[in-house]
């Protein structure tokens, strides 16, 4: 009976916070940054790095108008649920975030703006339905409706899951999945948002080294099992349920089923709140296997919106 009423009220019997997709490219959502009268497409260059407070990183290339980097400006992110450009995308946005300047990292090629969420609006489903879902399934001490809106907005764009590796000692390695990260090719940079409770964080900051792997979505269960790795002591390599290979430069272990990896040297850290930002450089990507569909996360409210508009992604 509960399942019937959930489906009747919310369109789904299985209510969860995030939905896992299996994607090999083909993301059709777009994200636009507005500052004053300037609007630019930042879809590939906007990432969530901290949850409390919610902090985004947005890369602004050197050739973009200087006004986009004005620390006193009001920044607005529009998450368009379907393809569209300019005013059409803004009008049809499923979520809108207003942000304020938090910090920045300057490069010759551009600027990484770190922006803190001030308020959010979501339009995925009727506001009453969104409130009912929050009150019935998400509400808990310290988790306000405003936070749900910020997370739903952030995950209105699919966030890819990668595997992080770090060498504790010769026989122990940390492995854990992450989606609070971002990658750039020009310049070659990787940015991570690691929670302060992550047992590997202090060691990573001291060693200033980390490895990130692209992994196939068909290993979903094993990937999620590794999610416990950042909360406990690292296992012995011979205790892992999979074999590993060793990276070329750092000698870190990555799962043998990884499709590629990058070895990252951390050059800067910034405390964002609940998470620490690690900003690193990479020089080359080591390809191990052809790329296949990979895990991505979207918020459940965005999943409902996409489903209602016939834009279903393949689920994993």
- Topology match between the domains 28-157 and 160-292: yes
Q: Which pLDDT score, from 0 to 100, does residue 81 have?
A: 67
pLDDT band at 4 (very low <50, low <70, confident <90, very high): very low
Share the mean pLDDT of the chain.
Answer: 89
Q: Which pLDDT score, from 0 to 100, does residue 8 have?
A: 46
Domain definitions of the chain by residue range:
28-157, 160-292
28-42, 150-164, 220-234: which has the minimum mean pLDDT? 220-234
Instruction: Decide which of 2.30.110.10, 3.40.50.300, 3.30.300.30, 1.10.150.20 is the CATH code for 160-292.
Output: 2.30.110.10
Q: Report cis status (omega within 30 of 0) of the bond before 253.
A: no
DSSP state for residue 137 in the 8-state scheme? I
Are 253 and 165 in contact, with CB atoms under 8 Å apart? yes
pTM score, whole prediction: 0.92
Would the pLDDT of 5 be above 70? Answer: no
For the chain, give the number of residues: 316
pLDDT digits (tens, 9 = 90+) for 15-43: 788 999 999 878 889 999 999 988 999 99
* CATH superfamily of the 28-157 domain: Electron Transport, Fmn-binding Protein; Chain A (2.30.110.10)
Residues of the chain with pLDDT > 90, as a percent, come to: 64
Find the mean pLDDT for residues 240-263.
95
């Amino acid at each position: 009976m509960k399942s019937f009423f959930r489906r009747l009220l919310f369109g789904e019997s299985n209510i969860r916070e995030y939905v896992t997709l299996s994607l090999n490219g083909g993301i059709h959502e777009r994200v636009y940054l507005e500052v004053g009268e300037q609007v630019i497409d930042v879809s590939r260059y906007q990432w969530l790095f901290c949850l409390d407070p919610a902090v985004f990183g947005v890369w602004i290339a050197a050739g973009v108008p200087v006004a986009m980097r004005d620390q006193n400006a009001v920044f607005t992110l529009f998450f368009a649920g379907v393809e569209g450009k300019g005013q059409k995308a803004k009008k049809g946005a499923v979520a809108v975030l207003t942000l304020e300047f938090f910090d920045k990292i300057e490069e010759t090629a551009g600027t990484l703006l770190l922006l803190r969420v001030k308020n959010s609006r979501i339009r995925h489903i009727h506001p009453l339905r969104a409130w009912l879902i929050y009150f019935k399934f998400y509400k808990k001490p310290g988790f306000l409706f405003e936070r749900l809106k910020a997370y739903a907005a952030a995950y209105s764009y699919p966030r890819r899951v990668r595997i992080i590796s770090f060498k504790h000692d010769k026989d122990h390695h940390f492995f854990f999945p992450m989606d609070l990260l971002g990658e750039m090719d020009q310049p070659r940079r990787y940015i991570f948002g690691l929670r302060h409770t992550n047992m590997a964080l202090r060691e990573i900051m001291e060693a200033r080294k980390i490895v990130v792997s692209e992994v196939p979505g068909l290993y979903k269960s094993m990937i999620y099992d590794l999610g416990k790795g950042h909360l406990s002591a690292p296992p012995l390599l011979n205790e892992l349920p999979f074999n590993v290979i060793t990276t070329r430069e750092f000698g870190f272990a990555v799962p043998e089923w990884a499709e590629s990896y990058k070895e990252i040297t951390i050059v800067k850290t910034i405390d964002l709140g609940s998470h620490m930002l690690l900003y690193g450089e990479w020089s080359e990507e080591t390809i191990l296997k052809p790329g296949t569909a990979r895990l991505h996360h979207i918020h459940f409210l965005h999943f409902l919106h996409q489903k209602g508009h016939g834009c279903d992604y393949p689920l994993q």
